[in-house]
Structure 1
């Protein structure tokens, strides 16, 4: 194709201007595919001055675009069932992998407009600031137009700014204060689609709006952007409400604790929207409230804030039945609030806990016999309830113990751990690990069964399909190990035999599973060193490689306590992997625990004394200089 590429590009450019939108859309797909295929950018570079104006022209709303009709829908009209988007709950995940970013474009129907914006986004990421000399004069010209007849061009220019926010950030950076100053008044434009796209584009610059808080001018601009989005959250137009809430959630994630001094006004606006919105958009308010709780954490735990936040949520909680799917986003919202408030959530905990138990029981019965259960089975009810219980365990800590002791949660949880749905099992093992941390005594009577079913998740031919389940099960085993100690002994060798293949053949597995396997192996070795140490020569190398990748934290400390315990029990077992062990030790930036630091010093000094006749020096000579430098803090 290479010899003909120039002709192909010329043809696509021509067809991209076709008067038939369907034909133009087919041609427009080419630009994104070209960028994704990593083809040489220079083949496309000379066409940019002709291509970019075409894309920008096609980003304007077509006269027959359905969004133009939707944009005029009155915000007070109730939503029909068909207006509600399908929702997908993400089960709890214990690990270092980031969830996939959701598509943050507010345009939902794939058409020439959206395809053109996506192509511009791709081009900006490939060519960066090179496209600005062609693009910015058009954007500036379109934004400077006034009057009702040119609003679509103004709207497309704002969309274009959002599309290039990531790829052209270096070139835009010096002008961001002016760009943001220009965007904020557009939040109050007469045209709802300009108001909504301005929300989205502002959110694309959230990171930089928040960075400016350090100085007076930036702080004033942050407050103007925040208040502008809050105004739009209370817009009468449903499309603007949706865009404003989503944009505000993005700003919340970036601003985090900076929102604390502004919590009163934020909560007043969000709870006002909560009372105003119809069914579809109220889900986005739940998300904004949950994101706020995640962002400010314990700052939310003040009576004046809870008086605004909780009564409307509790009223809604009492209004919805256990089989109403509108309960899902509320369960998710309460999960974030429980984690943020910590012990402060205890005043609301009992009815929330009991209802989660009731929902799980009903759904497990409905799975067997929906008629006698009086409900249709839907695993989402179980997953959301398990995740809320995890949020309670995390927030209340040992304070959840009395609730667990008076319930049949242990038996329900074991059933969920054996469920045929991976989503249910994933959330069940997350809750198992959380309960192991705060009230392990209530798991004791069924501990062998929990350990057995958790271990089986690591030894399945479907491992690559159920990685998140295996990840949470592995983490839960490690949490149980450090709480129940020798009661692990009967299953230790089985678990080790399942962990080793994952550590030794990590190809195609996610980073989080490898890390959790390494931590769990270390925790088991810490509590049962005499059982694990005879086998250490079979896994030391791959285990130490995995330990080297883990960031400094308490879990890594536990793993290294296991390493030290094994070496004390069987020093010769690690001799052949001493270089890898030294590299793992050097992966620490700083060990906060003095006891662990001493233990590692003793291990290294022990090997230095064991290796005579220059063998220690020979081992040290194979290490890279940065590794040797880091080992100096252990006085070897």
Structure 2
């Protein structure tokens, strides 16, 4: 795992921050279109642009071995690590670096063996901290990465004085390395800090001032390649601390440099991409606190989208080459504004032509543009549905068409967002969705019938992506079907026998929240209209109802709406009365935990 003498990284490691980046130094980047419900999903898989060598393959192999065999590898591995890491002298720096890399590689897989021995765990962290100041840049950089791998376990011990002390030292050590003069160390420190941000979340709040000062200092000194990572770290910070960022003192540090860069870049400059993404996270975190910056940001997004739509058909007139990523990033930032400002977005968009621009994006031939367009459609439906009203039926029809597409991976993401947007519009405009209900219900029924959810894969990343998207689409289909059933049970009930079983299975997987409550309103409504249509799936109806968890106080169910609770109780008792002696047969098919939960509905 030690660096080979001809490894290109040894040359790169000597790059000083004063050397400007060349265009060929910038890795290709791909923005991930906004996907509703994907708060915990990261689609950043850029392995195709990494150069794999024996060192990287060896580290990956140890990572896999540690995850498969866990603590069993420690007796054989730890003496080797200790021997390598204790070497001294400039000639053995590669061995020390490889030992630190190995510690990082086993941090997750061997957690159960290292973490219970907290004193040993603290010793490892204490040993790594001085390496952040090592004379060799590659030791400093790998120490940043390894400490970020151990960081999540330190965060779990912040209630322990020693654990919190070490967490603060790691935090400050990484911030110090953000301002390293070596580009490679800057990159490693900034990436490592972004990882710690995700894990630490609210634990960062007491340190927000010093964190922002370091990040914005790095923002002012980094070259183009590493500047992208700073944008990501700022966005991750906003995602992690949310409204805590909305303090005048913090905004005075954060916003002026970002606004200056925003004004400096042209509408066709690709360096605008990471800044658009960064502003998306900030606008969501600040909420109404972003209002002072909202108007110029909104107008800039509109200008960018319309410039690209012109460039698509007439590059000469646009003065720019078409690049759909400008449209996708701008649509996602507009979604961030809608989510952050809420109904306050009305003053921004009421006199704009966003409605027509958005409709055109919903009909774009590329899936990522449509995906982001339907996400924005859903966000607008939630906060300002009246704005979509003049072309409501067009939006609904185009969204419903996405559910009939060949649901390969790309189309599945589009269908997921379109499905969610239809559901959001339905609960706002109610009966006005009637023209598309029958077609949408038919499509959702097919998605549910054929959307068998795979067991969570343990292996390849792409397989995990497909599993995640399938599950997400399955759940959103169940929610939207429920919302349509709530609004027009008379149109949905005649078809319920065709999808009741997979619908109930999907509802059982949906997390307990207001969307699930609305879906259960629909379930109860169609059962009341057509009770015989649910008899063959009664066991699955019962299991779906039992999927609601009991609150921590063990007093109330997570169904917080009393009307929904009463409707569920009426459905269960209605079937008990309707089936008579046959009810006992259904009841006997249920597992004891399901019976216990259902008994709370006085069945």
Q: TM-score, normalised by structure 1?
A: 0.88
Deviations 1:129-169 (A, max 9, x none): 22222221121112111121111111111011111112222
Out of 318, 323, 335, the residue aligned to residue 280 of structure 2 is 335
Change (3 A) 1:132 1:463: closer
Deviations 1:201-253 (A, max 9, x none): 11111210211211111111110000000000000000000000000000000
Out of 307, 320, 331, the residue aligned to residue 386 of structure 1 is 331
Pick which of 132-141 and 570-579 moved more. Answer: 570-579
- The answer to whether structure 1 residue 61 and structure 2 residue 3 are counterparts is yes
Secondary structure of 1:447's aligned partner: helix
Pick which of 74-83 and 593-602 moved more. Answer: 593-602
Deviation at residue 61 of structure 1 after TM alignment = 1.2
Stretches of structure 1 lacking an aligned partner (at least 5 in a row): 1-58
The aligned runs of 1:103-252 (5 Å cut-off) are: 108-173=50-115, 174=117, 175-252=120-197
- The answer to whether structure 1 residue 635 and structure 2 residue 602 are counterparts is yes
Out of 473, 476, 479, the residue aligned to residue 516 of structure 1 is 476
User: Partner of 1:38 in structure 2?
Assistant: none
Deviation at residue 505 of structure 1 after TM alignment = 1.2
User: Partner of 1:49 in structure 2?
Assistant: none
Deviation at residue 98 of structure 1 after TM alignment = 4.3
Q: Matches of 1:305 and 1:97 in 2, distance apart?
A: 25
Deviation at residue 103 of structure 1 after TM alignment = 6.5
Q: Matches of 1:254 and 1:583 in 2, distance apart?
A: 34
Based on CA coordinates, which of the two structures has the bigger radius of gyration? 1
Out of 326, 344, 352, the residue aligned to residue 289 of structure 2 is 344
Deviation at residue 535 of structure 1 after TM alignment = 2.0
- The answer to whether structure 1 residue 359 and structure 2 residue 304 are counterparts is yes
- The answer to whether structure 1 residue 594 and structure 2 residue 562 are counterparts is yes
User: Partner of 2:17 in structure 1?
Assistant: 75
Out of 238, 241, 254, the residue aligned to residue 296 of structure 1 is 241
Out of 575, 588, 591, the residue aligned to residue 607 of structure 1 is 575
Q: Does the aligned pair in 1 maintain the 2:32–2:44 contact within 8 Å?
A: no
Deviations 1:239-273 (A, max 9, x none): 00000000000000000011011000000000000
- The answer to whether structure 1 residue 583 and structure 2 residue 583 are counterparts is no
The aligned runs of 1:393-432 (5 Å cut-off) are: 393-432=338-377
Pick which of 511-520 and 117-126 moved more. Answer: 117-126
Out of 301, 305, 308, the residue aligned to residue 253 of structure 2 is 308
- The answer to whether structure 1 residue 622 and structure 2 residue 589 are counterparts is yes
Secondary structure of 2:269's aligned partner: coil
Q: Does the aligned pair in 2 maintain the 1:234–1:272 contact within 8 Å?
A: yes
User: Partner of 2:509 in structure 1?
Assistant: 549
Q: Matches of 2:228 and 2:584 in 1, distance apart?
A: 64
Change (3 A) 1:108 1:505: closer
Secondary structure of 1:145's aligned partner: coil
Deviation at residue 495 of structure 1 after TM alignment = 0.7
Deviation at residue 115 of structure 1 after TM alignment = 1.5
Out of 428, 433, 436, the residue aligned to residue 491 of structure 1 is 436
Q: Matches of 2:179 and 2:200 in 1, distance apart?
A: 21
Deviation at residue 537 of structure 1 after TM alignment = 2.2
Q: Does the aligned pair in 2 maintain the 1:95–1:471 contact within 8 Å?
A: no
Deviations 1:504-550 (A, max 9, x none): 11147710101111100000011111221222222222211111111
Secondary structure of 1:188's aligned partner: coil
Deviations 1:462-516 (A, max 9, x none): 4454111111111111111101111111111011111111111114771010111
Deviation at residue 100 of structure 1 after TM alignment = 4.4
Secondary structure of 2:403's aligned partner: coil
User: Partner of 2:457 in structure 1?
Assistant: none
Q: Does the aligned pair in 1 maintain the 2:151–2:167 contact within 8 Å?
A: no
The aligned runs of 1:460-539 (5 Å cut-off) are: 460-507=405-452, 510-539=470-499
Q: Matches of 2:79 and 2:45 in 1, distance apart?
A: 28
Secondary structure of 1:212's aligned partner: coil
Q: Does the aligned pair in 2 maintain the 1:564–1:603 contact within 8 Å?
A: yes
Out of 221, 225, 242, the residue aligned to residue 276 of structure 1 is 221
Q: Does the aligned pair in 2 maintain the 1:96–1:511 contact within 8 Å?
A: no
Deviations 1:1-35 (A, max 9, x none): xxxxxxxxxxxxxxxxxxxxxxxxxxxxxxxxxxx
Q: Matches of 1:565 and 1:463 in 2, distance apart?
A: 33
Q: How many residues are treated as equivalent by the alignment?
A: 576
User: Partner of 1:26 in structure 2?
Assistant: none
Change (3 A) 1:389 1:97: closer
Deviations 1:386-408 (A, max 9, x none): 00000000000000011111211
Out of 85, 90, 96, the residue aligned to residue 32 of structure 2 is 90
Pick which of 402-411 and 233-242 moved more. Answer: 402-411
Deviations 1:144-201 (A, max 9, x none): 1112111111111101111111222222222211111111111011111000000001
Deviation at residue 551 of structure 1 after TM alignment = 1.4
Pick which of 403-412 and 286-295 moved more. Answer: 403-412
